[in-house]
């Protein structure tokens, strides 16, 4: 019989109602929320760096040069290389990383934390060290922080301080010419967790690459929602042995094994460690966001939030930095969807397959996207057969060739606006990769 702590600060079920017969549940009092240590009282260098960083960020916004989410933090780090460590003192920081879903999950975590106390977040998606510093210095008294972090930069963060909670979502091929192979990223995550033994990890038990990264850590909560994209996780990340279907139970000869889930997302809702089902009623569409919500809730509970208020705040989230938002684009209303690699395209195509809205696909190949677009051939565009779609972007012709071989009728347009059908009828969906999406959202905001 084991003793398990569930949902710190949550409203757990009566232990007698638990369906688990081999566990007994103990409610643990939530940690106290303390205000961060005000470093400026005895650290003039950090105070100066923060003041000048804030001025730079404000000027960037005022001059229309950006949100200031990077320049302010970059200046502060230049003046005080230890700014991240200093600003993290006294806060409970939740770091969220993975190939897909970071921005949305981070926003959900931030909202859940705000059910308990003020929280800061790098909501603009600036997910490297300068973006973290910029976020932390926006509200020096906020005791919580939810920070999205690039997969390859988590180790740099944990070299500087120990986050309270680290969320590991997934790993899939993305920007191979910049990031490298998944095994490189997995090794970096494993090193990052080894540097943060006191952190609590919330990890994806359905992704063998994430399982490998978190398997040796002493404090892990495992979340399960099913694995739709499986092409990057058929072999053991540690020894290379074939694992088979990641959705099935597996055990590798090297000792790596699929762990039991604490939180499970089903078609009916969310099953917690106590065995009880809870409904998931979200403003964001798709099964993928139900999984993101489960990660956010688990992270919030480990940070001392109560279940009901945290879940209610998560359910309010309706867009994250423009993702899933309905916007005006040159006078036309469209819904913007982000898909930047095969795994996320799979989810977005599944989302739009539920209806017959007009559809525009836009793909660029700039540095932030990765110049190589061979990944287009890994996407199941065959699911669009029977529909006519418009394609645009810098790699519209590559996309059109791929759709031709998928048996999908398409027309090439010079812009998203040109690709839209005549006004009237359903609101069109626009699926765009990273820089195409970023440019569209910026234009809609500036309209």
* Residue 414 CB coordination number (10 Å): 9
For residue 357, what are the domain limits? 326-446
The answer to whether residue 413 sits within a structural domain is: yes
In contact, 38 and 140? CB cutoff 8 Å: yes
Residue whose C-alpha is closest to residue 165's, from 307, 301, 313, 7: 301
The domain boundary residue, chosen from 316, 351, 372:
316
Q: Is the pLDDT of residue 299 over 50?
A: yes
The whole-number average pLDDT for the span 220-247 is 87
Binding residues are 236, 239, 252, 254
The answer to whether residue 351 sits within a structural domain is: yes
* Whether residues 347 and 287 fall in one domain: no
* Whether residues 310 and 348 fall in one domain: no
Q: How confident is the model at residue 57 (pLDDT cuts 50, 70, 90)?
A: confident
Say which range, 8-17, 210-219, 353-362, 402-411, has the weakest mean pLDDT: 8-17
* Whether residues 288 and 390 fall in one domain: no
Per DSSP, the three-state class of 278 is strand
The answer to whether residue 193 sits within a structural domain is: yes
Burial of 445 (0-12, 13-18, 19+ CB in 10 A): exposed
Write the pLDDT tens digit of every residue in 367-386: 888 888 999 999 999 999 99
Residue whose C-alpha is closest to residue 135's, from 99, 93, 168, 78: 93
* Whether residues 157 and 215 fall in one domain: yes
Of residues 372, 378, 380, 426, which has the active-site annotation? 372
* Whether residues 247 and 368 fall in one domain: no
* Whether residues 285 and 357 fall in one domain: no
* Whether residues 169 and 58 fall in one domain: yes
Say which range, 39-43, 89-93, 228-232, 289-293, has the weakest mean pLDDT: 39-43
Q: Rounded to a whole number, what is the distance in angstroms from the first to the last CA of the chain? A: 61
CATH of the domain at 209: 3.40.1190.10
The answer to whether residue 321 sits within a structural domain is: no
* Whether residues 399 and 297 fall in one domain: no
* Whether residues 311 and 371 fall in one domain: no
Q: Is the pLDDT of residue 29 over 50?
A: no
pTM value? 0.88
State the Cα–Cα distance between residues 244 and 186, nearest whole angstrom.
19
Instruction: Output the average pLDDT for the chain.
Output: 88
* Whether residues 395 and 293 fall in one domain: no
Per DSSP, the three-state class of 443 is helix
* Whether residues 54 and 144 fall in one domain: yes
The domain boundary residue, chosen from 316, 342, 366:
316
The DSSP element (H or E) to which 223 belongs, if any, is strand 220-224
State the Cα–Cα distance between residues 121 and 190, nearest whole angstrom.
24
Q: How confident is the model at residue 64 (pLDDT cuts 50, 70, 90)?
A: confident
Q: What percent of the chain has pLDDT over 90?
A: 69
The answer to whether residue 93 sits within a structural domain is: yes
Binding residues for Zn(2+) are 236, 239, 252, 254
pLDDT confidence of residue 330: 85
The whole-number average pLDDT for the span 116-127 is 90
Burial of 228 (0-12, 13-18, 19+ CB in 10 A): middle
Residue whose C-alpha is closest to residue 192's, from 167, 156, 168: 156
CATH of the domain at 403: 3.90.190.20
User: In sequence order, which residues have a C-beta less than 8 Å from that of residue 18 and are 6 or more positions away?
Assistant: 25, 274, 275, 276
The angle subtended at Cα 121 by Cα 103 and Cα 46, nearest 5°, is 135
Q: Known catalytic residue: 14?
A: no
pLDDT confidence of residue 230: 83
The number of domains in the chain is 2
Q: How confident is the model at residue 15 (pLDDT cuts 50, 70, 90)?
A: very low
* Residue 43 CB coordination number (10 Å): 17
Q: Is the pLDDT of residue 66 over 90?
A: no
Residue whose C-alpha is closest to residue 344's, from 141, 175, 188: 175
Phi (first) and psi of residue 210, to 5 degrees: -70, -40
The domain boundary residue, chosen from 260, 295, 316:
316
* Whether residues 332 and 285 fall in one domain: no
Q: Is the pLDDT of residue 244 over 90?
A: no
Q: How confident is the model at residue 114 (pLDDT cuts 50, 70, 90)?
A: very high
Say which range, 8-22, 32-46, 146-160, 399-413, has the weakest mean pLDDT: 8-22
pLDDT confidence of residue 126: 87
State the Cα–Cα distance between residues 57 and 240, nearest whole angstrom.
46
Beta-bridge mates of residue 101: none
């Amino acid at each position: 019989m084991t003793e398990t702590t569930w949902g710190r600060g949550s409203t757990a079920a009566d232990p007698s109602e638990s369906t688990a017969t081999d566990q007994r549940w103990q409610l643990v009092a939530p940690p106290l929320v303390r205000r961060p240590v005000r470093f400026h009282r005895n650290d003039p260098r950090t105070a100066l760096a923060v003041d000048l960083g804030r001025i730079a960020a404000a000027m960037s916004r005022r001059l229309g040069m950006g949100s200031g989410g990077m320049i302010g933090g970059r200046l502060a780090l230049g003046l005080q290389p230890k700014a991240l460590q200093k600003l993290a003192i006294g806060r409970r920081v939740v770091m969220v990383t993975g190939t897909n879903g970071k921005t949305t999950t981070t926003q959900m975590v931030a909202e859940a934390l705000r059910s308990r106390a003020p929280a800061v977040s790098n909501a603009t998606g600036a997910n490297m060290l300068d973006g973290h510093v910029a976020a932390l210095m926006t509200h020096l008294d906020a005791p919580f922080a939810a920070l999205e972090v690039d997969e390859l930069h988590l180790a740099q963060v944990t070299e500087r301080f120990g986050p309270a909670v680290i969320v590991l979502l997934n790993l899939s091929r993305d920007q191979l010419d910049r990031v490298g192979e998944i095994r490189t990223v997995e090794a970096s995550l494993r090193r990052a967790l080894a540097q943060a033994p006191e952190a609590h990890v919330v990890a994806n038990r359905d992704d063998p690459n994430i399982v490998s990264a978190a398997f040796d850590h002493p404090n892990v909560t495992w979340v399960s929602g099913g694995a739709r994209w499986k092409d990057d996780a058929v072999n053991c990340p540690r020894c290379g042995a074939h694992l088979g279907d990641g959705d099935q139970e597996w055990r590798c000869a090297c000792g790596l094994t699929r762990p039991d889930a604490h939180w499970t997302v089903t078609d009916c809702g969310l099953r917690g460690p106590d065995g009880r089902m809870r409904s998931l009623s979200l403003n964001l569409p798709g099964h993928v966001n139900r999984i993101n919500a489960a990660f956010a809730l688990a992270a919030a509970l480990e940070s001392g939030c109560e279940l009901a208020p945290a879940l209610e705040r998560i359910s309010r989230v309706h867009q994250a930095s423009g993702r899933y938002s309905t916007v005006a684009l040159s006078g036309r209303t469209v819904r913007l969807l982000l898909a930047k690699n095969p795994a996320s395209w799979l989810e977005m195509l599944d989302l739009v397959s539920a209806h017959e809205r007009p559809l525009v696909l836009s793909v660029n190949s700039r540095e932030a996207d990765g110049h190589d677009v061979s990944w287009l051939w890994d996407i199941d565009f065959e699911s669009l057969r029977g529909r006519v779609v418009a394609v645009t972007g810098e790699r519209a012709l590559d996309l059109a060739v791929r759709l031709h071989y998928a048996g999908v009728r398409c027309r090439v347009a010079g812009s998203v606006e040109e690709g839209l059908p005549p006004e009237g009828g359903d609101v069109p969906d626009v699926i765009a990769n990273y820089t195409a999406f970023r440019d569209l959202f910026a234009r809609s905001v500036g309209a």
